[in-house]
Amino acid sequence: MSRYDVVVVGSGPVGTATARELADRAPALRVLVLDAGQVLGDVPGGHVKNITDPGPALAGLPSGAAPPPGATPARPGTALVGTPAMPNAAISTNVGGMGAHWTAACPRPGDDEVPGFLDPAVLDEALRRAEELLAVTTHAFDRAPLRGAVQQILGELFDQPERRPVGPMPVAVSVSGDGSLHWTGPAVIAGDLWERENVTLRAGTLARRILIDGDRATGVEVVDVATGDRSVVEARAVVVAADAFRTPQLLWASGIRPAALGRYLNDQPQVMTAALLDDRHVTGDATASVAVSAATTPGGGAIVPLSGVSWVPYAAGRPFHGQVMQMDASPVKLDPGVTVRPGQVVGLGWFCRKQVRADDRVWFDEDAADEHGMPAIRIDYTLTEADQAAIAAAVEELRTAAKALGRPLGEPFVLPAGSSLHYQGTTRMGPADDGTSVCDPAGRVWGTANVYVGGNNVIPTATACNPTLTAVALAVISARALADSLEASR
């Protein structure tokens, strides 16, 4: 039987950030990070776009799984949960979780996306730390020749006093001296973490249940996925950061069942369209011939140094947030004979805020099991009249934006539920144990002394912006509180 101070379940951005912050703040703590999946490529938690030779490990999804529409290449280690209410709900079982596959957009939350019960100064400092851990920048695509034209057009449409203006999307990307990009996966968050004496990453190891004595966790029962061998890891505290579906699943399987567990599921309805930037906007240096395409970049991603990623921020009176990508390798079918400059095809994706409801939920079927023998995941999810109104408004705004940019390439379309991959709320935090939240503002699960949760699933508000930065910031707050508590009790 092994013993640790903290067991962290999940090695995605939040699990890794939690372990990193614990180790930085209290180096003497012994920390174990568990993941049921394996390492993709050579670096634990590396982003797949940084792998120059994908090889068989990145050949595709597990047997029987289907990627979300338009996803290319397929996300290795990722599979659909498989539920009629949310057909594109997906999970990633690999070291790094979805953080090995994400688009790396890291906008800050604004207006009523920010939980009102958190100390603004504490949250602001945690957001700065999260930006540091994720290597967030607004300058990754400064070389994009048409970026300025795109942002000028969108700014003229959407900028208003007292609102955050249209600008470059903050992204978790590092730019080398030659202009090539390195995408942030959890490996970047970790730094030298896995080389430290008191920190261990154990891949291929599933947490089956948290062992509880009274209100205290005493450890975790784990199983080796390859062999089926079971064992127990003792711990002074347990942090579960296993995504918005499997975090509440593990708590449920462990008999930890606050009233709000699995409820308040928040996906962001996603509306998309594309436009061909009008030649009248392409002037000066933007017309320069450039010989770099997506096919020559690591991972074959559609966003390269010559593309731009722009941001139309969320505002309380405007219930969506815009992510605008210039696509050098356009997935949009163009008319024969049409020649475009790099970045001239612009994809627009609007994420809508969804009304937060207790009846939108993930729940667990104790009469059926998933592939790991855990209670099977079920989902209830419905779009309300308010949600439909927000989607309709986003469609109209996208039509306007596409026309302003130049030539619309088809009508805006709504992706199936679950396509955003921005699942939130299922272990939401709150200021009081009143049945509407699962954990306190430090991430400690109500009714327990030493069980913590982290991830997008702790975000309690209706949001439209990409949630990873916020989730990592909340993990920073949680890890610091836990480290201080454990150090004080030695």
pLDDT score of 328: 63
Domain shared by 279 and 407, yes or no = yes
Query: Are 400 and 373 found together in one domain?
Result: no
Task: Please tell me whether residues 365 and 323 are part of one structural domain.
Answer: no
Q: What is the per-residue pLDDT across 351-372, written as a single tens digit (0 to 9) for each?
A: 999 999 999 999 999 899 998 8
Whether residue 177 sits in one domain with residue 113: no
The answer to whether residues 240 and 247 touch, using CB atoms and an 8 Å cutoff, is: yes
| 181, 140 Cβ separation under 8 angstroms | yes
- Residue 198: how many CB atoms within 10 A of its CB? 15
For residue 321, pLDDT beyond 50 = yes
Domain end among 400, 416, 432: 416
Distances (CA, A) of 297 to 15, 92, 145, 305, 344: 29, 24, 18, 9, 18
The span from the CA of 143 to the CA of 20, in Å, is 33
- 228 in Cβ contact with 58 (< 8 Å): no
Indicate if 287 and 388 belong to the same structural domain.
yes
- How does residue 473 score in pLDDT terms, banded at 50, 70 and 90? very high
Question: Model-level pTM?
Answer: 0.91
pLDDT tens across 91-118, in order? 999 999 999 999 999 999 999 999 999 9
Report pLDDT for 447: 97
pLDDT of 41 strictly over 90:
no
Sheet holding 181-183, edge to edge: 136-137, 171-175, 181-183
User: Could you tell me the sign of the dihedral formed by the alpha carbons of 483, 487, 489, 490, in that order?
Assistant: positive
Is the confidence at residue 192, as pLDDT, over 70? yes
Local confidence band at 294 (pLDDT 50, 70, 90 cut-offs): very low
- The encoded tokens of residue 351 equal 């994420």
C-alpha distances in Å from residue 442, one per residue of 25, 80, 201, 204: 16, 31, 24, 29
CATH number (domain holding residue 226): 3.50.50.60
Q: How confident is the model at residue 329 (pLDDT cuts 50, 70, 90)?
A: low
Residue 287, number of CB atoms within 10 A of its CB: 12
256, 390: one domain: no
Q: Is the pLDDT reported for residue 71 higher than 70?
A: no
Same domain assignment for residues 406 and 431: no
d(CA 83, CA 64): 14
Q: In terms of domains, do 228 and 84 share one?
A: yes
Mean of all residue pLDDT scores within the chain? 88
Q: Read off φ and ψ for residue 264, nearest 5 degrees.
A: 60, 35
Number of domains in the chain: 2
Percentage of the chain exceeding pLDDT 90: 74
pLDDT single digits (tens) 266-275: 999 999 999 9
For residues 241 and 10, is the Cβ–Cβ distance under 8 A?
Answer: yes
Signed CA dihedral, 102, 108, 113, 118: sign only: positive
Q: Are residues 64 and 173 in the same domain?
A: no
The secondary structure of the chain, three-state, reads CEEEEEEEECCCHHHHHHHHHHHHHCCCCCEEEECCCECCCCCCCCCHHHCCCCCHHHCCCCCCCCCCCCCCCCCCCEEECCCCCCCCCEEECECCHHHHCCCCECCCCCHHHCCCCCCHHHHHHHHHHHHHHHCEECCCCCCCCCHHHHHHHHHHHHCCCCCCCCEECCEEEEECCCCCEEECCHHHHHCCHHHCCCEEEECCEEEEEEEEECCEEEEEEEEECCCCCEEEEEEEEEEECCCCCHHHHHHHHCCCCCCCCCCCCECCCEEEEEEEECHHHCCHHHHCCCCCCHHHCHHHCCCCCCCCEEEECCECCECEEEEEEEECCCCCCCCCCCCCCCCCEEEEEEEECCCCCCCCEEEEEEEEECCCCCEEEEEECCCCHHHHHHHHHHHHHHHHHHHHHEEECCCCEECCCCCCCCCECCCCECCCCCCCCCECCCCEECCCCCEEECCHHHCCCCCCCCCHHHHHHHHHHHHHHHHHHHHHCC
Name the residue type at position 463.
T
Tokens of 80: 């659909």
Do residues 240 and 35 touch, judged by C-beta distance below 8 A?
A: no
- Tell me what pLDDT residue 331 has: 54
pLDDT at 49: 82
Q: How far is CA 262 from the centre of its chain?
A: 18
pLDDT reported for residue 299: 37
Please report the pLDDT score of residue 48 as a whole number. Answer: 87
d(CA 350, CA 321): 6
Q: Provide CB contacts within 8 A for 382, sequence distance 6+.
A: 85, 357, 359, 360
Q: Are residues 176 and 189 in the same domain?
A: no
262 and 277 share one domain: no
- Phi, then psi, of 315 in degrees rounded to 5: -145, 155
Q: Does residue 399 share a domain with residue 346?
A: yes
Q: Taking 50 as the threshold, does the pLDDT of residue 292 lie above it?
A: no
Bridge partner residues of 230 (DSSP): 223
Domain range for residue 194?
A: 1-135+185-267+360-381+423-490
Catalytic residues: 422
Distance from C-alpha of 183 to C-alpha of 276, rounded to nearest angstrom: 27
Phi-psi sector, 461: left (phi>0), alpha (psi -120 to 50), beta: beta
